[in-house]
């Protein structure tokens, strides 16, 4: 299989992960006027699984290092498989809450609060599991990201709204926080399912490509519980009939959702592959710099803060500055 051995290459892949994770939600924004997010999310999940299978049968089944995908499945023990599946389930719960928060509060809020919080929790949990990098630089970077989250929440609070709008703003913020807490833990389950040495994986543990397939399977299967539940009890708006997926969908809407899933899945795959050379804490932390990318889309492309009072722009620029400083410190912690 194809693996990553260079730290500089790993950092580059993490930057691509950042772009993928920060940009996939644009597909939801494109479809949201015609397509409820619960219906969009089914196609998104299919896209995540589809890309991991493509990678498993190509990059994961060629080369001289590690084990091929099918051989790896035959040698995997149940605890490793279930750990990867559990990672997919935990991620799915977190991501559904995040998608709901995007639907209510927009990308410029849901991502900095939700994914920023996930970055903080994820870096800490992954560092405790596998300590790599200078902890002073690493956690200084995390501290700057935390400040950026707080500033973004303050900026969001300045947006004008009615009494009902205030309730929706609070709901969007709460969903973002809960999503971020759950999102901070999923990556550790996937890492625990994998071999510590990708080139010479120990028996029973999974290679990255196999772990990603089981992760994606856990994500898709758990949709039958999570997505079905929010179809009948949505966070906002009317109930969604499950058969609307077939009645109201068209090829364009389905393809937008699948594309969104494949974009996110590419980011996840590159992040997992980079974790072998960069370490899980740094790989996850850099990937979650997606917060800055998503906030850029929300602020400057979708104009989610266009009605904010004077002075809000300075807060948002300060948020971007703190995020950038935090990311630089995270990268420097392993150089």
Encode pLDDT of 261-281 as tens digits.
Answer: 999 999 999 999 999 888 888
Q: What is the pLDDT of residue 116?
A: 78
Say how far apart CA 221 and CA 233 lie, in whole Å. Answer: 19
Mind listing the pLDDT tens digit for each residue in 51-101? 999 999 999 999 888 899 999 999 999 999 999 999 999 999 998 998 888
Count CB-CB contacts under 10 A for residue 244.
Answer: 15
Task: Kindly report the pTM of this predicted structure.
Answer: 0.85
Q: Judge whether residue 161 has pLDDT over 80.
A: no
Question: Alpha helix (H) ranges present in 106-162?
Answer: 107-110, 116-129, 135-157
Most distant CA pair in the chain, distance: 62
Q: Judge whether residue 162 has pLDDT over 60.
A: no
**Residue 335 binned pLDDT confidence (cut-offs 50, 70, 90):** low
The distance from CA 84 to its chain's CA centroid, rounded to whole angstroms, is 15
Q: Judge whether residue 142 has pLDDT over 70.
A: yes
Which pair of structure tokens corresponds to residue 26?
A: 């644009």
Q: State the DSSP code for 4.
A: -
Count CB-CB contacts under 10 A for residue 334.
Answer: 20
Mind listing the pLDDT tens digit for each residue in 188-239? 999 999 998 999 999 899 999 999 999 999 999 999 999 999 999 988 778 9
Q: Judge whether residue 160 has pLDDT over 90.
A: no
Q: What is the pLDDT of residue 209?
A: 96
DSSP string, 197-229: -SSSPPTBSBPHHHHHHHHHHHHHHHHHHHHHH
Q: What is the pLDDT of residue 117?
A: 85
Instruction: List the Cα angle 104/320/172 in 5-degree steps.
Output: 15
CA-nearest of 307, 85, 66, 320 to 196 is 66
Whether the CB-CB separation of 201 and 210 falls below 8 Å is answered with no
Whether the CB-CB separation of 219 and 53 falls below 8 Å is answered with no
Question: Alpha helix (H) ranges present in the chain?
Answer: 7-23, 25-31, 37-57, 69-75, 78-105, 107-110, 116-129, 135-157, 163-193, 208-232, 244-247, 251-278, 280-287, 290-296, 312-332
Interacting residues of 229 by C-beta distance below 8 A, sequence separation 6+: none
Say how far apart CA 332 and CA 25 lie, in whole Å. Answer: 29
Q: What is the pLDDT of residue 58?
A: 96
Whole-angstrom CA distances from 85 to 63, 205, 277 are: 26, 13, 24
**Residue 297 binned pLDDT confidence (cut-offs 50, 70, 90):** confident
Q: Is 72 helix (H, G, I), strand (E, B) or coil?
A: helix
Q: State the DSSP code for 308.
A: P
Mean pLDDT for the chain? 88
């Amino acid at each position: 299989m194809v693996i990553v051995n260079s730290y500089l290459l790993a950092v580059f892949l993490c930057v691509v992960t950042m772009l993928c994770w920060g940009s996939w939600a644009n597909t939801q924004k494109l479809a949201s006027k015609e397509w409820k997010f619960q219906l969009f999310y089914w196609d998104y999940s299919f896209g995540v699984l589809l890309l991991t299978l493509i990678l498993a049968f190509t990059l994961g089944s060629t080369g001289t290092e590690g084990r091929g995908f099918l051989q790896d499945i035959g040698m995997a023990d149940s605890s490793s498989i279930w750990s990867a599946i559990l990672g997919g389930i935990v991620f799915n719960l977190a991501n559904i809450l995040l998608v709901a928060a995007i639907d209510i509060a927009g990308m410029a809020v849901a991502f900095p609060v939700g994914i920023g919080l996930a970055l903080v929790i994820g870096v800490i949990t992954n560092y405790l599991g596998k300590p790599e990098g200078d902890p002073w630089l690493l956690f200084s970077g995390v501290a700057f990201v935390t400040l950026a989250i707080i500033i973004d929440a303050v900026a969001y609070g300045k947006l004008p709204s009615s009494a009902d709008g205030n309730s929706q703003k609070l709901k969007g913020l709460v969903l973002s926080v809960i999503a971020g807490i759950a999102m901070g833990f999923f990556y550790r389950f996937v890492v625990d399912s994998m071999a510590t040495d990708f080139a010479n994986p120990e028996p029973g543990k999974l290679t990255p490509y196999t772990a990603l397939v089981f992760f994606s399977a856990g994500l898709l299967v758990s949709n039958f519980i999570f997505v079905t539940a929010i179809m009948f009890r949505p966070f906002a708006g009317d109930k969604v009939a499950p058969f609307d997926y077939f009645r109201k969908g068209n090829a364009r809407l389905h393809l937008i959702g699948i594309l969104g899933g494949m974009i996110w899945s590419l980011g996840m795959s590159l992040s997992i592959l980079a974790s072998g050379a960069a370490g899980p804490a740094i790989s996850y932390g850099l990937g979650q710099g997606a917060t800055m990318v998503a906030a850029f889309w929300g602020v400057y492309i979708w104009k989610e803060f266009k009605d904010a009072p004077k002075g809000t722009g300075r807060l948002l620029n300060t948020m971007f500055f703190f995020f950038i400083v935090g990311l630089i410190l995270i990268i420097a912690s392993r150089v």
